Amino acid sequence: MAVNETERRAMARALELAAHGPRGVNPQVGAVILSPDGEILAEGWHHGAGTPHAEVDALSKLAPGAARGATAVVTLEPCNHTGRTGPCAVALIEAGVARVVYALDDPGAVSGGGAERLRDAGVSVDSGEQADAAHALIDGWLTAQRLGRPHITVKWAQSLDGRAAAEDGTSQWITGPVARSDVHRRRAEADAIVVGTGTVLADDPALTARDGDGLYPHQPVPVVIGSRPVPEDAAVHRHPHAPLFYDTRDLHAVVAALHARGIQRVFVEGGPTLASAFLASGLADRVLAYIAPVLLGGSKLALTDIGVPSIDAARRLVVDEWLPLGADLLAIAHPATPLEEGA
């Protein structure tokens, strides 16, 4: 049975609801219950670990029997296991729901399989509706499920000829205000922002996500990697969150420590050395390259050694979007070869 326009609108609404939920060990999920006539009967979302899942949250707002023959539109496949809450697939079956439309399959070995359970009970099931939007919403959680670490975005700004700074080291500002505003918006979507001590000592960044003259409500936790001491009066110490310092070159250890703290989205915004180290370590799920129409020449490359000895070993990327930002251009890309578990 094909997904109809009413169900598509309901999925868009479910994605809006999902965004209300907190990011953490559980995914953000939204649900909309539609009557057989396509009217919205109830809405719900997952409010955090230990609380009812989105489907159950929505069903709880209905009188017993009110969902019989209804359609449940959910951003993630209804779960099929008992944790701190019961299986959502069973809750939907017991409520008499006749049809389920969901965006993404649950990748969990234990929690997955809800769709099969629903079908076995005679429920009509369709998947994949607005999957890209749902994936973008919970990419951190999905990466954590697949790789056991946060989703990592590596960002840099460069001149058209691939330089991150002029020969004297100055780099403010290669890109224009529209591009810089875009960076801050993306910072606000991350759980942590990572730089090296070199960037802190050279630029004294606040590492906040600024919205004009103010701050975004959500601020990423500042993370500084490196062995050089950071002055007590550095701007990073005035961040709304206490900074985390890691005196190590082992990026896998840093990423594991962040994962243990419940951090799911990491935004790497250090200089060429740190960006290159993350890329060389295979720790980049997404690349953001802000390209300015300016030529600098010289030796201050945007990337250094990333472990590519020959063209055959090039790190191939797939560009998801070329986004004009004022006079600048943003390339949004991901690795052409999927990163494997344990990479």
- Given 7, 55, 77, 129, the catalytic residue: 55
Residue 214 CB: number of other CB atoms within 10 A?
8
The residues, ordered by sequence, that sit 6+ positions from 186 with a Cβ below 8 Å of its Cβ are: 153, 155, 267, 288
Q: How far apart are CA 140 and CA 142, in angstroms?
A: 5
Tokens, residue 272: 């060429």
Which residues are bridge partners to 30 per DSSP?
Answer: 45
Q: How far apart are CA 268 and CA 274, in angstroms?
A: 8
Helices within the chain (DSSP H only) = 5-18, 54-59, 88-95, 114-120, 131-137, 139-147, 177-188, 197-203, 251-260, 272-280
Does residue 55 have an active-site annotation? Answer: yes
Length of the chain: 343
244 neighbors 223 (Cβ within 8 angstroms): yes
169 neighbors 198 (Cβ within 8 angstroms): no
The residues, ordered by sequence, that sit 6+ positions from 44 with a Cβ below 8 Å of its Cβ are: 17, 30, 31, 52, 54, 55, 56, 57, 58, 59, 60, 61
264 neighbors 130 (Cβ within 8 angstroms): no
Hey, what's the torsion of the CAs at 310, 311, 315, 318, to 10 degrees? 180
Q: How far apart are CA 254 and CA 316, in angstroms?
A: 25
Kindly tell me the sign of the dihedral angle through the C-alpha atoms of 236, 241, 247, 249: negative
Q: Which residues are catalytic?
A: 55
